[in-house]
Amino acid sequence: MSIQNICDVVKKNNTLTAALSVVVLIAIVCLVYFVAGIGGVSAKAAAEKAVSYINETYLADSAEKAQLKDFSDFYGLNKISFSLFGQEQFIYVTRDGRYMFPAMEGVPIDMDQTSATDNPAQTCQDIPKTDSPVVEAFVVSQCPYGLQMQRIASKFLIDEPTAANNVKIRYLGSISGGKIVAMHGEGEAQENLKQICLREETDDYWKYLSCYMQADESDKCLASIGVDKLALNSCMTDPSRGLAYAQVDFNKADSLEIGGSPTLVIDGKVVDEFSFGGRTENALKEILCCASSNQPGFCSTALSTETAATMFSKTYVGVEENNGACE
Q: Give pLDDT tens digits for 143-179.
A: 888 999 999 999 999 999 999 999 999 999 999 999 9
Cis status of the peptide bond prior to 262, with omega within 30 of 0: yes
Rounded (10°) angle between helices 244-255 and 186-201: 100
Q: Tell me, yes or no, whether 114 and 130 share the same domain.
A: no
Instruction: Tell me what pLDDT residue 10 has.
Output: 40
Instruction: Tell me what pLDDT residue 98 has.
Output: 84
Q: How confident is the model at residue 68 (pLDDT cuts 50, 70, 90)?
A: very high
Instruction: Tell me what pLDDT residue 114 has.
Output: 53
Q: Is 1 a residue whose pLDDT tops 80?
A: no
Instruction: Tell me what pLDDT residue 139 has.
Output: 96
Q: Is 21 a residue whose pLDDT tops 60?
A: no
The answer to whether position 324 is within a domain reads no
The answer to whether position 242 is within a domain reads yes
Instruction: Tell me what pLDDT residue 310 has.
Output: 85
CA distance 160 to 164: 8
Instruction: Tell me what pLDDT residue 306 has.
Output: 93
CA distance 272 to 14: 33
Domain end point (choices 89, 118, 147): 118
Share of the chain above pLDDT 90, in %: 57
Q: Which domain holds residue 169?
A: 124-300
Higher pLDDT, 146 or 325: 146
Averaged confidence pLDDT in the chain:
83
Q: Is 37 a residue whose pLDDT tops 60?
A: no
Query: Sign (positive/negative) of CA torsion 160, 270, 95, 63?
Result: negative
- Mean pLDDT (whole number) for 206-214: 97
Q: Is 17 a residue whose pLDDT tops 50?
A: no
The domain spanning residue 188 has which CATH number?
3.40.30.10
Long-range contacts of 35-40 (CB under 8 A, 24+ apart): 35/94, 35/95, 35/96, 35/98, 35/99, 35/259, 38/94, 38/95, 38/96, 38/98, 39/96, 40/95, 40/96, 40/97
Share of the chain above pLDDT 70, in %: 80
Write the pLDDT tens digit of every residue in 284-319: 999 999 999 999 999 999 999 999 998 899 999 965
Write the pLDDT tens digit of every residue in 89-115: 888 888 778 888 765 344 577 888 754
Q: Tell me, yes or no, whether 90 and 198 share the same domain.
A: no
- Mean pLDDT (whole number) for 7-13: 42
Contact, 145 vs 27, CB < 8 A? yes
CA distance 121 to 193: 34
Q: Tell me, yes or no, whether 162 and 112 share the same domain.
A: no
Instruction: Tell me what pLDDT residue 320 has.
Output: 47
Q: Tell me, yes or no, whether 46 and 111 share the same domain.
A: yes
Domain end point (choices 118, 153, 169): 118
Instruction: Tell me what pLDDT residue 318 has.
Output: 67
- Mean pLDDT (whole number) for 171-194: 95
Q: Tell me, yes or no, whether 48 and 111 share the same domain.
A: yes
Q: Tell me, yes or no, whether 18 and 75 share the same domain.
A: yes
* Range from 56-60, 134-138, 148-152, 231-235 carrying the lowest mean pLDDT: 56-60
The answer to whether position 321 is within a domain reads no
Q: Is 86 a residue whose pLDDT tops 80?
A: no
The total number of structural domains in the chain stands at 2
The three-class DSSP label of residue 114 is coil
Contact, 24 vs 103, CB < 8 A? yes
